[in-house]
Amino acid sequence: MSKKVFAVIGTGAIGGYYGARLHHGGNDVHFLFNSDYQHVIANGLNVNSHYGDYSISAPDLKAYHSTSDMPKADVVLVALKTTQNHLLESLLRPLLKTNTLVMLLQNGIGAEQEVAEQFHLPFVGGGLCFICSNKLGPGHIDHIDYGRITIGIYGDAGIAALEDFATDLTQSGVEVDVDQHIIDARWKKLLWNVPFNGLSTVLNADTAEMMSCEELVNLSKEIMIEVQQAARTTNTDITDTLIETMLLNTAKMKPYLTSMLLDRRNHRELEIQYMYKNAIDLAKAQGVAMPKTQALYEQLCFINNQIKSVK
């Protein structure tokens, strides 16, 4: 029986880490690179991890500059920012075959349904990555902490493929939770992302600095409660205990620069559509207001407009 073929679109802090883990688990993994391509074909992919390094030497790295040169895949990990989802038509289509599992390792809510409809797929997976990982330079990823992933599926026909992928991750040393209904998993990830990505970006502060301010911790909790109330409109139950646990874990976390703050500092467009606007709109449609989240979103819009005006 031939090996399952994996493709990684977006070999950065997330795609590079999980792709390298799958590679070291004995899987056939093919990586798409953009600006890093020339560097990695000479130097390989280097992943420094607090679990131990998961680097791939240049001779062993299956690196590509175009998905049209890659083999069709059984599983495609999409680790692009949601701001680049308009590129999926050209990037994803060459990789698809019957029953390919597309797994969106992205933030926010609503993308699985969009991709399923765009490509006429019976199911699309989503992955929520609970990880502190940054890209330090070309082909160089620094995995600081955590690494657990929660996966779910949009479309019940994909449950078997989802469970099979969970086994692949587990055998590669990745801690996996399977939450079959992806909408539940996405709300739970938004519970952390909405306050901490947004506030860190507005304030230009890391998580340790944020958690050292009692007033800011209280504001973060109030925003989390708004997300909790919004989630309940889609029958997703988020407990008060989960909110307290996330706050406690954030306080214990090593100082961490959120992905959105790094985007701001590197003058990259912010992921506010899927992480904020979609969530606010879903809640509003059910009569639930998110005033603090709305105010945070509007401040992020200002920052985002500044970034785009410079480009």
Active site residues: 189
SS3 (DSSP) at 304: helix
Contact between 269 and 307 under an 8 Å Cβ cutoff? The reply is yes
* 6/71 Cα distance (integer angstroms): 9
- Do residues 77 and 102 touch, judged by C-beta distance below 8 A? no
Rounded (10°) angle between helices 214-232 and 278-285: 50
Q: Exposed, middle or buried: residue 167 (CB in 10 Å: 0-12, 13-18, 19+)?
A: exposed
Residue 34 phi/psi, 5-degree rounding, is: -110, -100
The total of other beta-carbon atoms located within 10 Å of residue 181's CB is: 14
Give the single-character DSSP code of 56. Answer: B
* Token reading at 273: 């559509």
Q: Which amino acid is at 281?
A: D
Cβ atoms < 10 Å from Cβ of 113: 14
Coil/strand/helix, residue 95: helix
Residue 68: strand, helix, or coil? helix
Q: For residue 56, what are the β-bridge partners?
A: 45
Which ranges of the chain does DSSP label H, i.e. alpha helix? Answer: 15-24, 37-43, 88-92, 111-119, 159-171, 182-203, 207-211, 214-232, 240-252, 259-265, 278-285, 291-310
Which residue from 176, 165, 177, 185 is spatially nearest to 109, judged by alpha carbons? 185
- Number of residues that this document lists for the chain: 311
